[in-house]
Structures are given as structure tokens and as C-alpha cells.
Structure 1
Amino acid sequence: MKRLREWKKALKQAADLSGYHFDLAGTEYESNFIQGIVKEVSRRIDRVPLHVTEFPVGLESQVLKVKSLMDVGCHDGAQMIGIHGIGGIGKTTLAKEIYNRIYDQFDKVCFLHDVREICSTKYGLVHLQEQLLFQTVGLNDKLGHVSEGIQFIKERLQQKKVLLILDDVDQPDQLKALAGDLNWFCGGSKVIVTTRDKHLLASYGVEKTYEVNGLNEKDALDLLRWKVCKSNKIGSSYEGILEHASRYSSGLPLALEVVGSDLSGKSKDEWSSTLARYERTVPKNIQQILKVSFDALQEEDKSLFLDIACFFKGCRLEEFQDILDAHYTYCIKNHIGVLVEKSLIKIIGGCVTLHDLIEEMGKEIVRQESPKEPGKRSRLWSHEDIVPVLHANSGTRKIEILYLNFSLSKEEEVEWKGDELKKMENLRTIIIRNCPFSKGCQHLPNGLRVLDWPKYPSENLPSDFFPRKLSICRLRESSLTTFEFPSSSKKFLCMRELNLDHNQSLTQILDISGLLNLEILSFRDCSNLITIHNSIGFLNKLKILNVTGCSKLSSFPPIKLTSLLKLELSHCNNLKSFPEILGDMKHITYIELVGTSIEQFPFSFQNLSMVHTLQIFGSGKPHNLSWINARENDIPSSTVYSNVQFLHLIECNPSNDFLRRFVNVEVLDLSGSNLTVLSKCLKECHFLQRLCLNDCKYLQEITGIPPSLKRLSALQCNSLTSSCRSMLLSQVLYFVLYLFDFIFNIS
């Protein structure tokens, strides 16, 4: 009887559950209805929880307090809850934990990180709206304006029960744009806002708020123990010192992590010494606590940390690592690891990030080098400091890095004479973005290692510029008319990258034979470039060469680039012949020739024997490729073709049997060609997996399908015979077929 009562109770509970209802009298097919349920269940199962923290302490009680403000099961309207507190106190951590516990109770969920920081960039708020719409309803459209995004959010989410978390909000317009009114969302929706500004919540009418407090003594000690030795247990003789360290941290989780990292791996005597140093500089606020960790770094690690704090927060690691490798003339990778271990920075999604307080601590250290005279500091990053230094010509040999970016402020022309950099004798790195100058540059320091100056304001480099240590030279969109270092007899052995992209004034590349170790060379979209010096063809260390978009370039010098990996000559409209190859180039794997007039390939093309990706696109109309259509005895060694795995011949007219030369191809794109028959040679391509024949308007027959094929696209092939179509449809079980503008999928 007991079991029977339990069954009855369970059945009653199941009967009371709400769910999906199928209307037997409706027009919807039952199979479609079931498929919709399966899709919704799969979507919820596939949701991935957010990473919260490696060692959660003190979270449970805070989660319960916030949840007490929420009625997750209530459907009487949407609700907004505020979480506020000082930076580094754990607001984001708490929000992530709440998200993980309740996200399965909502139709749509979205966690928007770092709202304040993203909104400090141009179009940042629009980007967040796009992210919100993509995460909730899968909308991947680009928005033109915030007002457009507001309308989309209101229309698309009004019927959805949504969990939306807005992390680190600091302005009312951010709330207005992302969750302007609770009637934007269906009943039962929850909007959780984290912010440092309690007044912001009050001014927006958020009544239910929770202030995050620091960890209590027990939780703080537990976190500190774990950070020091990855365990809750520690020798009793250390406990007194550990408690001492915990008091200095004032229960702030971020400070506890930094102090714990500083003590980790040290002896008891070193602990005492470290804490004695803490006592000599008793922290009045968190910044002073964080500076103790900075003081414990080696000099090289200190310099790198200050660079990241002042210039590179939020940047992709690969972007700034090249710059700082060049700046210091050694690899900084290991030093990055030290900073991560010390909890001073984190690498998330390939980007470097650090807490606001730690960032400010680093910047304050630099300011204190010369509180009243910015020209005597090692690093300058604020236009409020840099522009006055240039106006007063008060720069000194103390300055090592100058980073001027007007993108986040009102762009204004900088008045200068052009020689203000002369006093900055030890300047190693110049990065100037979105900053117009009243005159051209008359002097650059010869000790430069990085010159990154888009829209460089002069037609030539200064005549006294001999940058023997220059490693990265990026002068995109500049006013240069020719490019040549002052004397070809001087060897610039440190140069690794030269970028002259989008330079509309550049007409000539003169002698660059002195750049013996150059690895990356790009003059993309230099539409008026006419002449390239022959020296470009003999840069033996060159790995990447990009000449895309040089529309007036009619010829290219012979090349013997033994280290080249990638060659791009696309959209060189007047280029009719491929450059002569003067010797083996066994490392090149990628060639792109999109929108050129090239029809003739030299016999020396056979020297490119390791090419695995070859892209040739027509320039608007199909054209013949005599190098492919040549007789067997006239073509180069088949080795150059046999290694090609990715072949794109778009708007080209190859012969019917050209595939005999590409037997190892895996991806083949012949879109827009004038082929009428794709011959049986296709079947000999035993590795072919993807075949695209879109817009082959004259194609009638495909006479062989290799068994390896997984996907075939033949859209707008209107001349295909009925027998060919039937053949393709009969094989749809073996590959995915895109045909007649609809799709067959293999099961």
C-alpha cells in the first residue's frame, strides 16, 4: 500500500507539471511538434555553465541572500536585481554562481561581461546589443545604432522568459540600451546588474539590491591557505604569520590571491621578511596591498607588468607579444607566465586582462616617477600628458614607450614643429593611432625598435634616421611616396616586419636589400604602387608577402624567397604574369591570386613544389589558364600539382581533363567556370571531400563521383541533364548535396 501511495503521489505531481500542448485539431504535424520539443530540450542540455573560481569560499551564504530577493518560479512580471560593491570584492564571481544555479529555468540566457569597459570603446554599446541578441535568439545581424538595437531587443524577447546578467555597469545609458524597461521581457524574466555604483541602481529604480561584503576571517584564511599551498592545511608554525597576512588583505578576495601568490613557495623566514615589508608600508587601501606583490617581482617582470598595465589591457596576447619581444629584444613569454602566477594578470580567451585596481596601481607607479613632469616618466599613454609634452617640447631621455591613441577621445590636430621627438633619445617604441599632426615628422630616434604609426604624416622618413635596432615598422595609410632606408649599404639586421598597407601615395618600393632578416612584408591596397625594386625577390628570411590590391602594378620582379610560406597577389588587376621563380622555394604552401589578369605561369612554377592551397579567381569574367590547359609534355613537373590539397579556380576555364594533374586535391571549387562536362578524371581524385560547382551555367554532365566525397554544391547549374540530376540524387546517402537551392543531408 505504501508503494501504491507513492505511485499515486508521483503521478499527481507529473500531472500538475506544465509543458508543451499539441492541438489535435490544429494544422501542425505531430512530427514537427515533437522535433521542436527535442530541439528545445537539446538546447537547454547543451548550455555550458560558466567557470566561477578555482576555490569557492564564502559564496554559498551570498548566493542564498541574493536568491531570497528573487522569486525564480514567479511569472508575475520581470524583475531587476542589483549587486553592488567595490572593485575586486567578488560581484562578478557571485553573479556567475547564481547564473549557473538557475539558468536551466529560463527560455533564453545571456551573461554580458565587462559592460563598462566595452562601452568605453566606439560602438561598444551596439556591440553588446548584438551580443545579447545573438546569445538569446541567434540573431547575427549588424546593428547601425543603439536605438535600432533597443527595438530589436523589445520585439524579439517580449515573449521569452529571459535570464540576463549585465556585469560591471557604470552608466544609466547602458541599462537603457540593454534592459531599458522590464516590459521588454516576458513574465518571470530576471535581470541581474552588477555595479560599483549603488546610486546608479537607486536612480534607475532598482529596489532589490545586495551589497557584496569582504570575506570573513575564516573564509579569508581558507582562501589564503589554498593560494599559498593548494590545501586547507598548513604547518601550525605558519598560522600566526598567515593570520597576519590575512588582516592586511582586509577580506578582499583579489588582494588575498595576490598576497597568497607572493608567499607561495617561500620559506618561513621569507614569509616573515615579506610581512615585515608589509608592516613598513602598512596599506591604507587596496592599491598599496597590491603594490607589495609588484615590489616582489624581478626587474624584467616589473617592466613588463607596467607595459601591460599602461598600454595593453584587453589586447590579444599575440598582438602585443610581438611588440614587446621587439621592444626588449628577447621573448617575454616566460615573464608573462610569472605575472599570471602572481595573479597580477590573467589570460582569458587569448586576451590579457587585469583587475582595474591592479591596472591603476601600475599606472600610479609610473606617475610617481615624476608626479608633476610627465616628460620625465618612462611611459606615456594619456593624450592629456603626451600633447602638453609635445607642445612644450619637454620630452626627455627617460621616455621609453609613447602610445598615443585618440580613438576614445575627441580627435584633434596636434600642433608641433616636427622635431619634438629629438630629446627622447631612449625612446624604443612609438605607437600612434588616430592622431593628426600639423606638420610632418622631421626626426625619429635612431634607437627605435617599434615604429607603429598609421597615417604617418611625412612623405619620407627623416634623412638622419638610421634605425639599426628597428624590428617592427608599421606605417599603414601613411603619406610616404617612396620607401627606402637612407642608405642601402647599411644593414638593418633587426627588422622583422614591414607594413605599408593602404598607402595611396606610395608609388615605388626602392632598394630594401639591407633588410636581411625581414620575415613579414605587406603593402596591401597600395593602389598607386607601380614599381617594386628587384631586391624584394632575394629576402631569404621572408615568410609572408602580401601585395593584395596593388591595382596599378603590372609586373613583379623575379623571386627566390627560400623561406616564403605565403604569397598573396590578389586584386592586382594589371598583373598579367606570375613572377619568375629563380630557384627552389620548398616552404611555400599558400598562393592566392584573386581578381588578377594572370594567364601565363612560367615553367619555373615547378619550383613551388610544396604548395597545398592554390586560389585563382577571375577578375569579373572567365578567362583561360594556359598553364593548366597545356599539353602533358608542355606542363611543368607534376609534383607542383600533386601536393595541392585546396584548389579554387573560380571564373576560370580549365580543360576537361585538368584534374589529372591534381589527384590529391581535397577541396575543389570551380564556381563560375564554363565547363560543360566534368570528366571521369574526377573519380581519380581519391581524397576529394568537398566539391563546389555553383554558377557553372553551362555544366551538363558530372561523369564520376569519388567515394571520398562528403559535400557537393551545385547551385544555379541550370544546364545539368535530368540523368545527371537523378544520378546525384541517387547518391545523396553518401554525401551532403546542395542542389536546386535546397539541401539533402546524410543521416
Structure 2
Amino acid sequence: MASSSSSTHQPKNFDVFLSFRGEDTRRGFISHLHKALCQRGIYTFIDNDLPRGEEISIELLKTIENSTTSIIVFSENYASSTWCLEELAKIVECRKNKQSVRPVFYMVDPSEVRKQEGKYGKALTMHEEKFNDKKKIQRWRDALRKAASISGWDSKNSRDDSELVQKIAEDISKTFLNKMRLSVAEYPVGINSRVKSVLKSLNIESKDDVRILGIYGLGGVGKSTIAKAIYNKISYHFEAKIFLENVREKSITKGIIHLQETLISEVLGDRSLKVHNECGGTDMINKILYKKRVLIILDDVDNSDQIKKLLGKCDGFASGSRIIMTTREKHLIDTIGREKHLIDTIGNGVSTYQVKELDEKESIKLLSKHAFRSNKPNEDYLKLVSEVIHYAKGLPLALVVMGADLYGKTIPEWESDLNKYTRSL
């Protein structure tokens, strides 16, 4: 997902459309909110460059239509702008098409907006005198009443703008989290218990330190699957987050520079930035992530050089950051934990978690899900299922592949395939 764009010739699809009165909030609250949303990978529209006039442009109306969520920042002078009121009316209209709408009451009481009292009442009266168009004014009044009745955020419930921005960014991130989830597994047997164990080690609630966790185990044991499930559960906590997949393979086939560019583009949402050499890429990553609370997952690393070139010295991340690596090599994590610069930076914050193979009960369930589309195997196949379980040795990948291969086959076909599996040992 990208950061923000201002006006463009062709309306694009945005995650969030910000509606606000520029003279009240643009240089302060809105600029901070916009930045916070963009840093979380939420593609946010802000109309920095659109020419103003009495009539709102068709381009802007299309942008509202093409946005997933609209955030309306009701400030002191919001209703004095006919442009803002037209935006609002369009936003409320789009709500009928399941678009999410969230109001922010910034230094105004929600009842003042809903009942059109105070400055909101005066602004509407002024518009009535100017336009002599009862239908238009009533449309604006209805939109104000409806929007102000929606659950949102009230600035008086926050200590300052910083806290309010943080609340909004976190809530919006959670909303989009379900739409940006990594694909974990069709049948996540045994995943939840292992994820819970990992989360204990990560201690996400603590913002006092930087922690590195190495998830290690045999190939096919489910390390990447667990890491993806963790990403889905916790990523909304962080300013910047990325799951960098297949590091070992891609460092060979595409090179470290490609991985560095991928990391940078995912964090910034800008694919135009190019890395010209590995050292420059590391420096760029460090500058981009400096003082940010980050979640970085490096999937399937196999040497410390990959980690150094993708993360640098890890000394610029804000407290509360979490770095997760999956690897087959436990000694790689042990080596990282002995790096002096890391000891100086994060102390004892490097830990490991070994992913154990599935037990017999879990193995039977996972195989049954794929081979029989059921939690339990067909009774006629019990002996054959036992042989498959013995062959797979608790490795989820083997159970998934064999289960999918054996699905719908007869007992003789199972026996034939099992002979092939055995001969391939």
C-alpha cells in the first residue's frame, strides 16, 4: 500500500479520504493524522493541491466514491465551507453503499454539530441567506445530523493532539487489518497454541525495549505459517511493519538489493525509490526506520549477512520494536545474540522459539482435513492413515501435500502412493 497522494488527473482508490476545514486543522492536526496513517501503510487522500471554488469538482466526488473509509474532521469552521458541506453530503450518500464513515469532533461538541447550534447554526443560516436553495441546505443539514450521530472520536477525551492521532491511527489500522491479512493456512491445525507461546516471548505490550526473536525448526515444520499468523495478530500495533518472505531463496535468485528495495517500498508505499548498492540500501533502511516502532519479519534467513544488510545495526529502532526471523539454523540466532552492537543496543532482548512437529492427534486432524475434508479419517483408511502419519513425522507441509494428493483416492491408490513415498526416502 502506498502513502498519500494529492490530486491526480485520474481518481484512484484510496483507503481513507480526509474531509476537513483547512484553515482550522491543515497545518497541525490533519498533517499529523495524515502522516500517522501513511506510516501505517494506509493509502490516504488529502486535497493539498485541488483548486478551490464554489463547486466541488467531479474528480473529488469520484475520489470519495472510490475510498473505503472517510474520516470527517468537524472543527469550529467546518460548516462555514460549502466545499466541506458538499464533501460531507457525498460521504453520507456513499455510506449507503457500505462505505465506512468516522467523524472526529475536533474542539467542537458533537451536539453542536448534530443539532446545528453555535457556529454550525450560524453557518447554515448564512448559507440559507446566500443561496436561497432550500433543498441544498436541507441536504447539508441532514448530512451533518447523520454524520454527527455516528460513533467516532472526540478531542476532549484525549490529553492532546498526539494522543488523539494515535487513537485514530490505531483504530483505523485495526479496521484495515482484516482486509490486509497474510494468507496463513487453509486448515491452521496446531497454529494457535504455538502463536500464543511466541506472543509471550514477544511481550507486545511492553514498549520499553527492542526485542529480536528467532523462530527455528525443521524445513516444513510451519515456521513461516506461524510468523504470518503473528503478523496478522499484532501488526496494527506498529508504525511500520513488513513481512519479507523467502529471504534465503530471493537473496540467491534476485539479490539483496531487490530485498532492500522491497522492504523500503513496503514501508514507504513508494516503489519509485531505487537502491544502487547494498551498503546504500542498508543506510536508506536505517534512515527510513529511524526512531520508528517497527515490526519486521524476515522469513527463512540462512546467514547473518542477510540480516545485517536488511536491518543494519538495529540501533535506530524505537523502543517497542519487534524483529522476528524464521530460520532452520538455531546457531544463526545464537550468533546474532552475541553481536556486540546488539548487546549494547537491546541487551538480553534476543530470544529463540523452537517450532516442534505436530503430535499424533494434530497430525491425524491435519491429514484428515486435506485427505477426507473432515476432522477424522474414514475408518476404512485408519491403517493407511497411520502409515502416512509415520512417514510425515509431524511435518505440516508433508501432511498437507500428501493429504491433498490422496484426497478422493481409493484404498489401492493410497497403497500405491505410499509405496512411492517410501521408495523416495
Distance across 2 between alignment mates of 1:90 and 1:277: 24
Instruction: From the superposition, tell whether residues 30 and 115 of structure 1 become closer, same or farther in structure 2 (CA, over 3 Å).
Output: closer
Q: State the 1:177 CA deviation.
A: 0.9
Query: Would you say the 8 A contact 1:57–1:223 is kept in 2?
Result: yes
Show the counterpart of 2:265: 134
Query: Would you say the 8 A contact 1:153–1:184 is kept in 2?
Result: no
Show the counterpart of 2:400: 257
Instruction: From the superposition, tell whether residues 37 and 248 of structure 1 become closer, same or farther in structure 2 (CA, over 3 Å).
Output: closer
Question: 5+ residue gaps in structure 2?
Answer: 1-24, 38-43, 45-168, 339-349
SS of the equivalent of 2:232 reads helix
SS of the equivalent of 1:153 reads helix
Distance across 1 between alignment mates of 2:281 and 2:383: 56
Deviations 1:294-336 (A, max 9, x none): xxxxxxxxxxxxxxxxxxxxxxxxxxxxxxxxxxxxxxxxxxx
Distance across 2 between alignment mates of 1:34 and 1:176: 33
Q: What is the number of equivalent residue pairs in this alignment?
A: 256
1:224 aligns to 2:224 (yes or no)? no
Question: Which structure 2 residues correspond to residues 62-101 of structure 1 after superposition, within 5 A?
Answer: 62-101=194-233
Q: State the 1:200 CA deviation.
A: 1.1
Distance across 2 between alignment mates of 1:36 and 1:156: 14
Quick one: which amino acid aligns to residue 352 of structure 2?
A: T
Query: Would you say the 8 A contact 1:89–1:254 is kept in 2?
Result: yes
Question: Which structure 2 residues correspond to residues 428-467 of structure 1 after superposition, within 5 A?
Answer: none
Distance across 2 between alignment mates of 1:205 and 1:157: 21
1:151 aligns to 2:294 (yes or no)? no
Q: State the 1:162 CA deviation.
A: 0.6
Distance across 1 between alignment mates of 2:337 and 2:407: 45
Distance across 2 between alignment mates of 1:55 and 1:89: 14
Q: State the 1:259 CA deviation.
A: 2.1
1:170 aligns to 2:302 (yes or no)? yes
Show the counterpart of 1:199: 331
Quick one: which amino acid aligns to residue 382 of structure 2?
A: E
Q: State the 1:270 CA deviation.
A: 3.0
Instruction: From the superposition, tell whether residues 158 and 266 of structure 1 become closer, same or farther in structure 2 (CA, over 3 Å).
Output: same
Question: Which structure 2 residues correspond to residues 535-574 of structure 1 after superposition, within 5 A?
Answer: none
Deviations 1:145-187 (A, max 9, x none): 1111111121121121110000011121111011232222111
Quick one: which amino acid aligns to residue 244 of structure 1?
A: E
SS of the equivalent of 1:56 reads coil
Question: Which structure 2 residues correspond to residues 366-515 of structure 1 after superposition, within 5 A?
Answer: none
Show the counterpart of 2:237: 105
1:125 aligns to 2:268 (yes or no)? no
Instruction: From the superposition, tell whether residues 144 and 97 of structure 1 become closer, same or farther in structure 2 (CA, over 3 Å).
Output: same
Show the counterpart of 2:376: 233
Instruction: From the superposition, tell whether residues 91 and 243 of structure 1 become closer, same or farther in structure 2 (CA, over 3 Å).
Output: same
Distance across 2 between alignment mates of 1:233 and 1:179: 45
SS of the equivalent of 1:265 reads coil
1:210 aligns to 2:353 (yes or no)? yes
Distance across 1 between alignment mates of 2:207 and 2:30: 30
Deviations 1:623-652 (A, max 9, x none): xxxxxxxxxxxxxxxxxxxxxxxxxxxxxx
Show the counterpart of 2:319: 187
Quick one: which amino acid aligns to residue 192 of structure 1?
A: I
Aligned mate of 2:192, from 56, 60, 81? 60
SS of the equivalent of 1:169 reads coil
Distance across 2 between alignment mates of 1:205 and 1:75: 20
Instruction: From the superposition, tell whether residues 37 and 168 of structure 1 become closer, same or farther in structure 2 (CA, over 3 Å).
Output: closer
1:160 aligns to 2:299 (yes or no)? no
Q: State the 1:66 CA deviation.
A: 1.1
Quick one: which amino acid aligns to residue 249 of structure 2?
A: E
Give the fraction of aligned pairs with identical amino acids, expressed as a percent: 38
Instruction: From the superposition, tell whether residues 200 and 29 of structure 1 become closer, same or farther in structure 2 (CA, over 3 Å).
Output: closer
Quick one: which amino acid aligns to residue 69 of structure 1?
A: S
Query: Would you say the 8 A contact 2:286–2:312 is kept in 1?
Result: no
Q: State the 1:234 CA deviation.
A: 3.4
SS of the equivalent of 2:337 reads coil
Query: Would you say the 8 A contact 1:81–1:193 is kept in 2?
Result: yes
Distance across 2 between alignment mates of 1:33 and 1:185: 20
Question: 5+ residue gaps in structure 1?
Answer: 1-25, 282-287, 290-747
Quick one: which amino acid aligns to residue 197 of structure 1?
A: E
SS of the equivalent of 1:45 reads helix
1:45 aligns to 2:175 (yes or no)? yes
Deviations 1:537-589 (A, max 9, x none): xxxxxxxxxxxxxxxxxxxxxxxxxxxxxxxxxxxxxxxxxxxxxxxxxxxxx
Query: Would you say the 8 A contact 2:297–2:324 is kept in 1?
Result: yes
Query: Would you say the 8 A contact 2:173–2:236 is kept in 1?
Result: no
Query: Would you say the 8 A contact 1:167–1:193 is kept in 2?
Result: yes
SS of the equivalent of 1:254 reads helix
Query: Would you say the 8 A contact 1:85–1:213 is kept in 2?
Result: yes
Instruction: From the superposition, tell whether residues 83 and 33 of structure 1 become closer, same or farther in structure 2 (CA, over 3 Å).
Output: closer
RMSD: 2.4
Q: State the 1:262 CA deviation.
A: 3.2
Question: Which structure 2 residues correspond to residues 257-336 of structure 1 after superposition, within 5 A?
Answer: 257-275=400-418, 281=423, 288=424
Q: State the 1:52 CA deviation.
A: 0.3
TM-score when normalising by structure 1: 0.33
Q: State the 1:224 CA deviation.
A: 0.8
Quick one: which amino acid aligns to residue 189 of structure 2?
A: V
Q: State the 1:34 CA deviation.
A: 5.5
SS of the equivalent of 2:323 reads strand
Query: Would you say the 8 A contact 1:79–1:182 is kept in 2?
Result: no
SS of the equivalent of 1:192 reads strand
Query: Would you say the 8 A contact 2:240–2:292 is kept in 1?
Result: yes
Deviations 1:346-370 (A, max 9, x none): xxxxxxxxxxxxxxxxxxxxxxxxx
SS of the equivalent of 2:299 reads strand
Distance across 1 between alignment mates of 2:409 and 2:30: 66
Deviations 1:187-244 (A, max 9, x none): 1010100111111111111741011121110111011111112111333222232122
Question: Which structure 2 residues correspond to residues 27-42 of structure 1 after superposition, within 5 A?
Answer: 28-33=27-32, 40=169, 42=172
SS of the equivalent of 2:192 reads helix
SS of the equivalent of 2:318 reads coil
Query: Would you say the 8 A contact 1:55–1:223 is kept in 2?
Result: yes
SS of the equivalent of 2:388 reads helix
Aligned mate of 1:115, from 247, 259, 280? 247
Q: Which has the larger radius of gyration?
A: 1
Instruction: From the superposition, tell whether residues 260 and 35 of structure 1 become closer, same or farther in structure 2 (CA, over 3 Å).
Output: closer
Deviations 1:473-513 (A, max 9, x none): xxxxxxxxxxxxxxxxxxxxxxxxxxxxxxxxxxxxxxxxx
Instruction: From the superposition, tell whether residues 137 and 37 of structure 1 become closer, same or farther in structure 2 (CA, over 3 Å).
Output: closer
Q: Larger relative CO (CA 8 A, sep 6+): 1 or 2?
A: 2
Query: Would you say the 8 A contact 2:283–2:312 is kept in 1?
Result: no
Q: State the 1:32 CA deviation.
A: 4.2
Q: Mean alpha-carbon deviation: is it higher for 172-181 or for 261-270?
A: 261-270
Instruction: From the superposition, tell whether residues 102 and 249 of structure 1 become closer, same or farther in structure 2 (CA, over 3 Å).
Output: same
Show the counterpart of 2:60: none
SS of the equivalent of 2:315 reads helix
Distance across 1 between alignment mates of 2:363 and 2:198: 21
